[in-house]
Amino acid sequence: MENNPFDLTGKNAIVTGASKGIGRSIAEHLARFGARVVISSRKLDACEEVAGSIREQGGEAVAISCNVSRKEEVEKLVPQAREAFGPIDIMVCNAAVNPYYGPLPEITDEAYHKIMDSNVLSALWFARLVKDGMAARGGGAFIVVSSIGSLKGSAVLGAYGISKAADNQLVRSLAVEWGRHNIRVNALLPGLVKTDMARVLWESPEAQQRIKERFPIPRAGDPDDLGPAAVFLASRAGAWMTGQTLVIDGGSTIMGG
């Protein structure tokens, strides 16, 4: 892949929430373009399956379990990843939760804090852990998987949207702080993608009809619609892009009405 601006050969990456869905696609695409990838999620066996699949395809990957809502596990993951492959060049904060579906005033404090800790605070923990190493190596890529829910109001996903809006601002602020170190910080904002978390929003016939009526590209997204975008953000192809929120949603956010 000489002179290929998307080539990631020699780069080391961590992807959280990588055992399925968007995270798995991101990990597989990073590996396909040459990166060595640490596959992480709460369940080690699921991570092992993904890492094994990548190795079967000729890539390099290891599995390390981590619940991103637990600081002690986050603080173990990064050193373990360094031990496996070396300094981290690419950090993808993809793992997220949404334990509550309903009106904002009715959410419990426990659910709210779980959403904010898992979806926002964990990204800040990872930022602290990888920044110095990236700076010492002359740069890196820090990617947060946000959501178009950060751009719109919702009657049932309000707290999740708040957490993702916070992720967008985290990205902008870190980009300002870290630009002098050549560390690029960006967010991916998926629209409605066929994942287990979003199943209620795309699986039913009624949901399918809404998608056809409201999306310029009339389908829900596939995780593999996101993986290549992460390669762009992680590679030389995205070398002058930082602090941005890259929307990939089939055009759904541009529709009026």
pLDDT band at 21 (very low <50, low <70, confident <90, very high): very high
Per-residue pLDDT for 1 more than 70? no
pLDDT of 211 reads: 85
Q: Of 100, 101, 112, 160, which is the active-site residue? A: 160
Structure confidence at residue 136 (pLDDT): 97
Residue bearing the bigger pLDDT, 90 or 205: 90
- Mean pLDDT, the chain, rounded, equals 95
pLDDT at 232: 98
Instruction: State residue 201's pLDDT score.
Output: 67
Mean pLDDT of 238-255: 96
* Every domain range in the chain assigned CATH 3.40.50.720: 12-190+226-248
- State yes or no: pLDDT of 106 exceeds 80: yes
Please name the helix (run of DSSP H) or strand (run of DSSP E) that holds residue 63, with its range, or none: strand 60-63
Instruction: Name the band, by pLDDT with cuts 50, 70 and 90, for residue 195.
Output: confident
pLDDT reported for residue 196: 75
Residue 197, class by beta-carbon neighbours within 10 Å (0-12 exposed, 13-18 middle, 19+ buried)?
Answer: middle
Give tens-digit pLDDT for 148-172.
Answer: 999 999 999 999 999 999 999 999 9
Pick from 237, 226, 158: nearest CA to 187? 226
Neighbours of 107 (CB within 10 A): 17
Q: Mean pLDDT throughout 232-253?
A: 97
Distances (CA, A) of 98 to 62, 174, 185, 189, 197: 27, 24, 24, 16, 8
Q: At what angle do helices 122-136 and 158-178 cross, to 10 degrees?
A: 20
Structural fold of domain 12-190+226-248: Rossmann fold (3.40.50)
- pLDDT exceeds cutoff 80 at 86: yes
pTM (2 d.p.): 0.96
Report pLDDT digits (tens) over 55-80.
999 999 999 999 999 999 999 999 99
Q: What residues have CB less than 8 Å from 206, skipping those under 6 apart?
A: none
160 as an active site residue: the answer is: yes
The pLDDT confidence band at residue 133, using thresholds 50, 70 and 90, is very high
Minimum mean pLDDT among 40-54, 113-127, 147-161, 205-219: which range? 205-219
Using DSSP bridges, classify how beta strands 140-145 and 245-248 pair: parallel, antiparallel or unpaired: unpaired
Q: Quick one: pLDDT band at residue 2, thresholds 50, 70, 90? A: low
Do 84 and 37 form a contact (C-beta atoms < 8 A)?
Answer: no
E strand spans, 66-203: 90-93, 140-145, 183-190
